[in-house]
Amino acid sequence: MIPSAEELKETRRKAEEAKAKEAELTKKVEEAEKKVTEAKQKLDAERAKEVALQAKIAELENQVHRLETELKEIDESDSEDYVKEGLRVPLQSELDVKQAKLSKLEELSDKIDELDAEIAKLEKDVEDFKNSDGEQAEQYLVAAKKDLDAKKAELENTEADLKKAVDEPETPAPAPAPKPAPAPAPTPEAPAPAPKPAPA
């Protein structure tokens, strides 16, 4: 039985629809793959940053431990006190700088972890409110989005502070130059001897 022109037309239309659907599906798959790749790249970059930060913190901890050991050895040595002091001052100064930097890095790192957790919770809240009905859900959604934007901005600033802190030089500030000793006061000149009276 030969198909009618109408049937051929319908078959062609279905074939074109199937082709269009296939193209749309292919496009969706490509978009999904692109998103997965981007997410993976972002995750890899974040992991690399995290690893670099942990390496920097570990390096500082080692340096702090080394300096503390050196200072202890100086304190326990038999050298004269003034010699000990001369050796201690630059090491103590370096230790103070490294301890301050280590403390700052740990503090900022902890803050970033806290913000990441808060952002993840807010993102979940936003999704939940999007899928809820009612005026109240809409109000909650607006508030959650506002909080989320604020936390993301805070995270961005904290990450910038952390990068700056990592790059800060660890050299101690130069010791203040000793003040010049005051010039000695001029000694008063001895008065000239009084002339002897002429003999009468």
| Contact status, residue 148 vs residue 115, Cβ threshold 8 Å | no
pLDDT score, position 188: 52
- Give the confidence band of 194 by pLDDT, cuts at 50, 70, 90: low
pLDDT score, position 92: 92
| Contact status, residue 108 vs residue 158, Cβ threshold 8 Å | yes
Torsion 80-86-92-94 (CA) sign:
negative
Can you give the residue ranges of every domain in the chain?
A: 20-167
Q: In this structure, what token pair is assigned to residue 144?
A: 């959650």
Is pTM beyond 0.85? Reply is no
Q: Which pLDDT tens digit goes with each residue over 118-163? A: 999 999 999 988 888 878 888 888 999 999 999 999 999 999 999 8
Q: Which residue has the tokens 């974040």?
A: 46
Torsion 141-147-153-155 (CA) sign:
negative
Question: In 3D, which of 65, 74, 72 has the Cα closest to residue 102?
Answer: 65
**How far is the C-alpha of 7 from the C-alpha of 133, rounded, in Å?**
46
pLDDT score, position 69: 93
Average pLDDT across the chain, whole number: 83
